[in-house]
Structure 1
Amino acid sequence: MRQINMESNRSIDRAFDVLQVFTIERPSLTKEEISKLTDIPVSTVYRILYTLERRSLVRFDPDTLCYSPGFRLIEFGSLISSILDVHREAESFLNDLHVQTRQTVLMAISDGDQILYVFNKENYDGLKFSSHVGQRRPYIYGILGPVLLSYLPNKQIERILEIPVPKHTPYTTTDPDLIRKRLQLIKDNGFYIESDETNIGVTGIGAPVFDVRKEVIAAVGVIGPSVQLVGEVLEQAKVALLTATQGISSKMGYPGKLHSTF
């Protein structure tokens, strides 16, 4: 944990004190029991529990008057497990991809209505234009967002497409119909190449990572200056990227080949 010369937020500290009293041995508790375990007044505990309940972080059983951990905590746990698993299995492939292409390599996962970057290794000799680990972006941004979006359920895709897309450059595609066609092409081709739509002079190529259920769990991308990622160099980067995503997918239990050429 980072050491920062700053006081923590007392209300948030108390909320976590409340959440941390739940254990396998104590899966449900009354507000009075929580108050006794945390040394927080019952009235304060009740306000905290009400807030946590509204956020689905705890559940209340009116029959027993007990609280227990909510389903949102399970979602957080699944997210962390997913990040750790795919990051661990992917890291060597991503580092090799960075060495082979000599360009910036990124990996992101879906997180609700946004994407979350979980890996970034930049080409320190070139331009700095990528997102950092832990940063969230909309789906219609860069190369990884559209790749992840293309494999989501249609209902979620349509909801995302209702969100206005800002023009990052004069070349950014914002028309929902054109974006729908692009998403289908990504699924058909198994990769996505974009130039100048997010940053002028920057080209990227992205591809999905699948798991044992044949579901997309991440997207990996290579980005660099358009003057470098062109022609045969771009084709070599595409082959290296698809080889890496095949390797990661196999590590995650995906059965078979993603691309006929590998």
Structure 2
Amino acid sequence: MARSSSGESVLTRAVRILSAFSAEEPVLTVSQLSRRAGLPIATTVRLVEELTRHGLLARDERRRVRIGNRMWELAQRASPVRALREAALQFMDDLQHVVGHSTQLGILDGDEVLFVERLVAPGAVVTFTEVGGRLPLHASSAGLVLLAHAPAEVRDRVLSGPLPAFTPHTITDPRALRAALADVRRRGIALCAGHIHPDATGIAVPVRGSGQVIAALGLVVPNDRHAWSLVQPLQLSGMALSRALDVRTP
């Protein structure tokens, strides 16, 4: 595979271009892509043109660049979380109608929680999560559930690394985080009041498949005394989804 003078492969440089897009800025100029990817403008132009020919990128009427439909098609066709999302949507929709708050589904990806589905309730409390969005494992309820059941090497790596704070309530002390993870394993629930935003409480439970925790099902609710009353319907939904996944497993 061809490499640049810096030793990077063409594939690595293409990934840097694709990674420059975000939910907040899904459309970028070539100059913006060049700066964000840290690539020379000529290299960026050449790679954008090639990626566009393959449908992985596309141009709008102003020649700005966005992710192409082909990228979405390939991701949907072979996504490893497709079955999980399809199974979870019914339970998430039912749960949202019962509790009246936003629901979300996250999986472990590296040292972060990756949110693969979200349903937003009308008038919902503020939430930082979005489909395809990520949060550090230590900071969110879904992250705590996944970290509590993650392999020991993942827990050790997160506990030894930086634990940035989103609010004064975010867990940033390794000993406090270790104790919180033990509590999540014991109680089967993570409730994070004001850890990401002072006005929001995140609640999450494990989703199991073949006996292993494969995801976290969660709610984002107002940060008030009523949050605990929503734990039981969330737990019931998590158990029902786990049973449905086991039935689907060949």
Please report the TM-score for the alignment, with normalisation by the length of structure 1: 0.65
Match of 2:125 among 118, 124, 127: 127
Alpha-carbon spacing, 1:143–1:204, altered in 2? closer, same or farther (3 Å)? same
TM-score normalised according to structure 2 size: 0.68
How far is 1:126 from its partner? 3.2
Matches within 5 A, 1:171-210: 171-210=169-208
Q: What does 1:1-262 align with in structure 2 at a 5 Å threshold?
A: 10-11=46-47, 14=50, 80-81=79-80, 83-212=81-210, 214-227=211-224, 230-231=225-226, 234-253=227-246
* CA distance in 2 between partners of 1:180 and 1:4 (Å): 41
Q: 1:202 to 1:5 in 2, by over 3 A?
A: closer
State the Cα distance separating 1:237 from its structure 2 match: 1.3
Report Cα offsets for 1:176-205 as digits up to 9, x if no partner: 011011111101111111112221122121
Cα distance between partner residues in 2 of 1:157 and 1:172? 17
Counterpart CA distance in 2 for 1:4 and 1:160 is 33
Report how far residue 5 of structure 1 moved. Answer: 9.2
Deviations 1:41-97 (A, max 9, x none): xxxxxxxxxxxxxxxxxxxxxxxxxxxxxxxxxxx99x822x101101111000011
Q: Distance in 2 between matches of 1:128 and 1:199?
A: 8
Instruction: Give the AA of the match of 1:11.
Output: L
2:161 is paired with a residue whose SS is: coil
Count residues with an aligned counterpart: 191
Give me the identity figure in percent: 24
In 2, Cα distance between the equivalents of 1:104 and 1:9?
A: 41
* Distance across 2 between alignment mates of 1:135 and 1:9: 27
* Conserved? CA contact 2:107–2:115, under 8 Å: yes
Q: Is the 8 A contact 2:204 2:217 kept in 1?
A: yes
One-letter code aligned to 1:92: Q
1:188-245 Cα distance to aligned partner (Å, 9 max, x none): 1111111122211221211010001x11111011111123xx24xx344111111111
| Two-structure CA RMSD over aligned residues (Å) | 3.0
> Which ranges of 4 or more aligned residues in structure 1 deviate by more than 4 Å?
3-9, 12-18
Alignment gaps of 5+ in structure 1: 19-75, 255-262
CA distance in 2, matches of 1:251, 1:129: 28
Structure 2 gap segments, 5+ residues each: 1-25, 31-43, 55-74
Contact map agreement 2:200 2:223 (CA 8 A) in 1: yes
